[in-house]
Structure 1
Amino acid sequence: MHGTIFTLLKRYVQTQYDHSTWVKLLEVSGLESGDFDHKQVYPDEHMYALVGGAARMTGIPAEELQEKFGEYLVPDLLYMYGKLLQPEWRTLEMIEHTETVMHKRVREEHQENAPPVLHVSRMAANEVLIEYVSKRRMGALAVGIVRGLAVYFDEAEQIVVEPTTREDGQHVQIRVRRLS
C-alpha cells in the first residue's frame, strides 16, 4: 500500500486522538516504526495490523474504522489530484472518473502501486454502481471515501450510499444515488 495512505493514517490517529495513541497503536500492531515515506510502497499487512490494532484498542469494528478513515482521506486526496479534476465534477462524477483519472495516475507513478479496481456503471442520471475489486478486502474504506466525497461536495444530505454486498469482501458492490 502506498506510503501516503500510512502518512495520512498517522495524522488521522494523531488528530482524532493524540501522538501517544499512535505510538501505542504501533506497539499493539507489532510495527517497529511509524515513520512512513509517502513515496514508498509498504506491505498491505502493515495496514491490516494497524486497523486490527485500532479495532482492539477502541472496540470499534475494523470496517467502521476503515469507513471513518476513508471519509477523512477525501480532502487530502482531492488536493493531491486536484489538477486532474474537472471543476464541474461532484460526487457521482468523481466516482465515475476515479479509475480512469486518479487510479490511472497512481499506477503510473509507481509500478508497485495497486489501488483497487473500480468498475463504475452509470445506472441513471442520479445513480452509479461501483464494483470494487481488491485483494486487500477494504471495501469499507471505499464506502468511507464515497461518503467523504458527498461531504466534501456538500451533498451529504442528498447522497445515499448502499453497500449491497459485504464490505469486507474482495468484490463489493456499492450503489450511490443522488436524491435530488
Structure 2
Amino acid sequence: MHGTIFTLLKRYVQTQYDHSTWIQLLENSGLTAADFDHKHVYPDEHMYRLVGEAATMTGLSATELHEKFGEYLVPDLMYMYQKLLQPEWTTLDMLEHTEGTMHRQVRSEHAENAPPVLHVTRVGPDELFIDYVSARRMGALAVGIVRGLAKYYDEADVIKVEPTTSENGEEVRIRVRRVKSVG
C-alpha cells in the first residue's frame, strides 16, 4: 500500500486521538515508530495490523474504522488529484470517473501500487453501482470514501451509500443513489 495512505492514517489517528495513541498503535502492531515515507509502497500487512490493533484499542470494528478513515481521506485525495477533476462534477460523476482519472494516474506513476479496480455502472442519472475488486479486501474503505465524496460535494444529505455485499470480500458491490432531500 502506498506510503501516502499510511501518512494520512497517522494524521487521522493523531487528529481523532493524539500522538501518543499513534505511537502506542505502532508499538502494539509490532511496527517501528519511524514515519512512513509517502514516496514508498509498504506491505498491505502493515495496514491490516494497524487497523486490527486500532479495532482492539477503540472497540470499533475494522469495518467501522475503514469507513471512518475512508471519509477522512477524501479532502486530501481531492486536493492531490484536483488537476484531474472537472468543476461540474457531482458525487456520482466523480465516482464514474475515478477509475479512468485518479486510479489510472496512480497506476502509471507507481507500477508497484495497485489501487482497487472500480467497475462503475451508471444505471440512471441518480444511481450507479460500484463493483470494487481488490485482493486487499478493503471495501469498507471504499464505502467511506464514497460517503466522504458526498460530503465533499455537499450532497451528504441526498446521497445514499448501500453496500449490497459484504464489505470484506475481494469483490464488493456498492449501490450509490441520489434521493430527494427531506425537507
Q: TM above 0.5, one fold?
A: yes
Find the counterpart in structure 2 of residue 68 from structure 1: 68
- Give the letter aligned to residue 38 of structure 1: H
Contact 1:116 1:132 in 2 (8 A): yes
How does 1:163-178 map onto structure 2 within 5 Å?
A: 163-178=163-178
Sequence identity (%)? 74
Q: What is the aligned partner in structure 1 of residue 146 from structure 2? A: 146
Check if 1:20 corresponds to 2:30: no
Give unmatched runs, 5+ long, in structure 1: none
| Distance in 2, Cα, partners of 1:165 & 1:125 | 23
- What is the CA–CA distance in structure 1 between the aligned matches of 2:136 and 2:14, rounded to whole Å? 24
Residues 121-177 of structure 1 show CA distances to partners (whole Å, capped at 9, x for unaligned) of 001110010000000000000000000000111100000000000001110000000
The 5 A counterparts of 1:28-177 are 28-177=28-177
Query: Which amino acid counterpart does residue 166 of structure 2 have in structure 1?
Result: R
Structure 1 SS opposite 2:67 = helix
What are the Cα deviations for residues 10-64 of structure 1, in whole angstroms up to 9, with x where unaligned? 0000000000000000011111234111110000000000000100101100000
Amino acid aligned to 2:167: E
TM-aligned CA deviation for residue 90 of structure 1: 1.2
Residue 4 of structure 1 aligns to a residue in which SS?
Answer: helix
What letter corresponds to residue 2 of structure 1 in structure 2?
H
For 1:156, give the aligned amino acid.
Answer: A
Q: What's the Cα RMSD here?
A: 0.6
Verify the 8 A CA contact 1:127 1:177 in the aligned structure 2: yes
Whichever residue aligns with residue 66 of structure 1, its letter is: H
User: Is the 8 Å Cα contact of residues 121 and 130 (structure 1) preserved in structure 2?
Assistant: yes
Query: How many residues matched?
Result: 180
Question: TM-score with structure 1 length normalisation?
Answer: 0.99
Give unpaired runs (5+ residues) of structure 2. none
TM-score normalized with structure 2 length = 0.97
Distance in 2 of aligned mates of 1:86 and 1:14: 32
Q: Within 1, Cα distance between the matches of 2:116 and 2:33?
A: 26
AA at the equivalent of 2:143: V
What does the per-residue CA deviation read over 1:62-118, in whole Å, with 9 as the maximum and x for residues that have no partner? 000000000000000000000000000110001000000000000011110100000
Q: Is the 8 A contact 1:147 1:156 kept in 2?
A: yes
Distance in 1 separating the partners of 2:34 and 2:55: 18
The residue type equivalent to 1:74 in the other structure is V
- Mapped contact 2:27–2:33 kept (Cα < 8 A): no
CA distance in 2, matches of 1:23, 1:74: 24
The equivalent residue for 1:3 is 3
Q: 1:127 to 1:62 in 2, by over 3 A?
A: same
